[in-house]
Amino acid sequence: MKSSISGSIPPGLTNVKDLQLSPINNNVDIFTYQEMWLATKHFRPDLIIGEGGFGIVYKGVIDDSVRQGYKTIEVAIKELNPEGFQGDREWLDYNPKLSDFGLAKEGPVGDQTHVSTRIMGTYGYAAPEYIMTGHLTARSDVYGFGVVLLELLIGRGAMEKNKPSQDHSLVEWARPILNNKNLPRILDPRMEGQYSIEAAMEVGKLAHLCLSPNPKSRPLINEAVETLKALEVNEEASPEGVSRSSSGQ
């Protein structure tokens, strides 16, 4: 599990015990491999929720059986692929990160329009043109952002192999529904009453644009952000607030 470590780690702290005892990490929970092994029920295959260039991602539960007195919490645990090329530097520079999202963050530069690279990233989030050609642009990341929007709206993972084969990919399953403006019938029921139907439709429209097979049809990420900000302002200003749900009431 990659913990968020505050600041740089001084020389000499080379193992988990040293990290746990160091005063600079008194606000960080650091776990041993044994604890991660217990949290994932011995890295059980049916708890795998994803796989990318870094390695396999498991769903885990940290509770009293893993660490005595620990409050139960669900976590995502990454197991580094020792034969991979991603992650080693991240584990060594111990800088806090939200994620390793953003494949295009290292380019393109100058007058280049794309970066050619080996295929990396988590399955289900990579843009189709990147998978086909290895050409990476800023709009490739917009596609991944669209997948995340869709996950939030529908309450499903990007790839769910426990579903019928034609429904493994969230994007492929949802795209026809978004195109036909039938989003309300597939919205995550757990969000009932937390949004207006108009706002949900606008977010669905934005996700559909971000997921366009044609990269040039996707908005720029700053345009997507401005759209979401405007929706937030409108929702707060609405006299009905967010009491209107997917039923339209």
Where is the binding site, in residues?
78
Q: Do 60 and 39 form a contact (C-beta atoms < 8 A)?
A: yes
| Residue 128: cis peptide before it, omega within 30 degrees of 0 | no
Binding-site positions for ATP read 78
16: exposed, middle or buried (Cβ count in 10 Å: 0-12, 13-18, 19+): middle
3-state secondary structure of 169: strand
Tokens 């111990």 belong to 94
**Per-residue tokens: 15:** 């193992």
Q: Put the strands of the sheet holding 73-80 in their side by side order.
A: 48-51, 55-62, 73-80
